[in-house]
């Protein structure tokens, strides 16, 4: 058994990020400033999009996206039930209602037939979650969105590198939101980025992210001299700081190199686990790029006696950390009590919720770490 605990999603931070953070601390400017500006420009170039606005989290970005599109009370937004709470909560915070949709059983992305069933006269937008870094079936989503005049707000929390038909998710209509939370492929501790090609949306998001002020703080106090600001919307405090951007600038530089390593680990897992009673992640669709954010397996409960929860406890006892992505939203008390969902409403998402667990997956893992995970699973399930 391993001596050291293997955490599920450990950030791959090296000396260069540490030096940049220290230099920012010494510069005297640790709030939103030139480093945020640089990170936004670098991210914009990487994605190939017109606007990138750095924010305090993906959750904040999702909320701002709804506001910028004018979504609010009386509106409905279609959200897959197999996602993190933030996807639905960001809708709720605008006064609108998240309407949950089932996902496909094995690619775990939003199911198009269920989208069609859930559209009403109040539906304003679809929120595709590019689960684990795998793109949703965008052509089909576009077709429905066009037919019913719906906006698309991409939850690209897992999907910095993801591409659909040669284009990065961040370039697709209407808005995309990325997460730089500690377990993500690109880490700023907490943080997010909103991307769009629409000038008006970008302007609104930028202003709403910082109190609704017409000029942002770093311009206000820059060495150009103090400038008055005007409050033009009732905004939020959702800006990113230069401390976070110091991490982001270097994390972004390494994203392609780290992606190669993640792919290697993915292949090792697939090969090492192929004889076990598990459903392994399916291959990405043709003409798409997977971001390889999560390596999520489903326990084949017809073939084994133990449950998923027992399996993750056994792995924990062998010093292997895991994650669960996710217990579907409609199985949580808040959404059940508020929107009257219950067990049986979303069969595919329930199939996943009962069987899923995510293995340690980070470009930082050594070959030995990966082998320890494989050996532990073979010992428990083989």
Ligand X SMILES: Cc1ncc(COP(=O)(O)O)c(C=O)c1O
Residues that bind ligand X (CB under 6 A): 57-59, 83-84, 86-87, 129, 155, 157-158, 179, 181, 192
To ligand X, the closest distance from the beta carbon of 127 in angstroms equals 9
Distance CA 84, CA 88 (A): 8
Distance CA 40, CA 242 (A): 11
Distance CA 211, CA 204 (A): 11
Could you confirm whether 146 is annotated as catalytic? Answer: no
Q: Which CB sits closer to ligand X, 84 or 164?
A: 84
Backbone angles phi, psi at 48, to 5 degrees: 80, 45
Beta pairing, strands 97-101 & 175-179: unpaired
3-class secondary structure, 178 = strand
Distance CA 112, CA 144 (A): 8
H-run or E-run covering 199: helix 199-208
To ligand X, the closest distance from the beta carbon of 334 in angstroms equals 16
To ligand X, the closest distance from the beta carbon of 140 in angstroms equals 20
To ligand X, the closest distance from the beta carbon of 232 in angstroms equals 26
Distance CA 44, CA 354 (A): 38
Q: Which CB sits closer to ligand X, 90 or 376?
A: 90
To ligand X, the closest distance from the beta carbon of 169 in angstroms equals 12
Distance CA 221, CA 204 (A): 22
To ligand X, the closest distance from the beta carbon of 91 in angstroms equals 12
Q: Which CB sits closer to ligand X, 163 or 372?
A: 163
Q: Which CB sits closer to ligand X, 129 or 249?
A: 129
To ligand X, the closest distance from the beta carbon of 183 in angstroms equals 7
Q: Which CB sits closer to ligand X, 82 or 299?
A: 82
Q: Which CB sits closer to ligand X, 177 or 376?
A: 177
Distance CA 67, CA 284 (A): 33
Q: Which CB sits closer to ligand X, 132 or 381?
A: 132
Contacting residues for 125 by C-beta, under 8 A, at least 6 apart: 66, 69, 71, 75, 77, 78, 150, 151, 152, 153
CA dist 76 to 81, 85, 99, 171, 335, Å?
14, 16, 6, 24, 14
Between CA 375 and CA 381, with CA 355 as vertex, the angle to 5 degrees is 25
Residue of 151, 168, 184, 206 marked active site: 184
Instruction: Let me know: does 177 contact 78? Beta carbons within 8 Å.
Output: no
For residue 1, count CB atoms less than 10 angstroms from its CB and return exposed for 0-12, middle for 13-18, buried for 19 or more: exposed
Return the bridge partners of 54, or none: 193
Instruction: Let me know: does 133 contact 294? Beta carbons within 8 Å.
Output: yes
List the catalytic residues: 184
């Amino acid at each position: 058994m391993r001596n050291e605990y293997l955490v599920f999603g450990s950030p791959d931070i090296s000396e260069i990020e540490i030096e940049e953070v220290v230099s920012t601390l010494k510069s005297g400017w640790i709030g939103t400033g030139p480093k945020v500006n640089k990170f936004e420009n670098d991210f914009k170039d990487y994605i190939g999009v017109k606007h990138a606005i750095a924010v305090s989290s993906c959750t904040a970005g999702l909320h701002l996206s709804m506001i910028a599109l004018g979504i609010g009370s009386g509106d409905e937004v279609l959200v897959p039930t197999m996602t993190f709470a933030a996807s639905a909560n960001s809708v709720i915070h605008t006064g609108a209602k998240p309407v949950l949709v089932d996902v496909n059983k094995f690619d775990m992305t939003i199911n198009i037939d269920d989208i069609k069933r859930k559209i009403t006269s109040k539906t304003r937008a679809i929120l595709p979650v590019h689960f684990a870094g795998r793109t949703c079936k965008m052509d089909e989503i576009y077709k429905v969105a066009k037919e019913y005049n719906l906006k698309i707000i991409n939850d690209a929390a897992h999907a910095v590198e993801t591409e659909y038909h040669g284009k990065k998710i961040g370039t697709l209509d209407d808005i995309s939101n990325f997460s730089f939370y500690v377990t993500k492929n690109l880490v700023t501790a907490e943080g997010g980025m909103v991307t769009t090609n629409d000038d008006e949306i970008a302007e609104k998001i930028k202003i709403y992210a910082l109190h609704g002020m017409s000029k942002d703080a770093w311009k206000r106090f820059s060495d150009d001299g103090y400038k008055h600001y005007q409050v033009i919307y009732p905004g939020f405090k959702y800006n990113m700081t230069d401390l976070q951007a110091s991490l982001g600038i270097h994390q972004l530089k390494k994203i392609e190199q780290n992606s190669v390593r993640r792919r290697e680990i993915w292949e090792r897992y697939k090969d090492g686990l192929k004889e076990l009673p598990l459903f392994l992640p399916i291959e990405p669709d043709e003409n798409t790029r997977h971001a390889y954010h999560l390596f999520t397996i489903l326990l084949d409960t017809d073939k084994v006696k133990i449950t998923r929860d027992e399996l993750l406890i056994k792995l924990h006892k062998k010093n292997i950390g895991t994650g669960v992505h996710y217990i579907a939203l409609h199985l949580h008390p808040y959404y059940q009590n508020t929107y009257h969902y219950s067990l049986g409403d979303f069969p595919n998402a329930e199939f996943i919720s009962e069987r899923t667990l995510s293995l340690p997956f980070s470009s930082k893992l050594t070959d030995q770490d990966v082998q320890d995970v494989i050996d532990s699973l073979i010992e428990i399930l083989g």
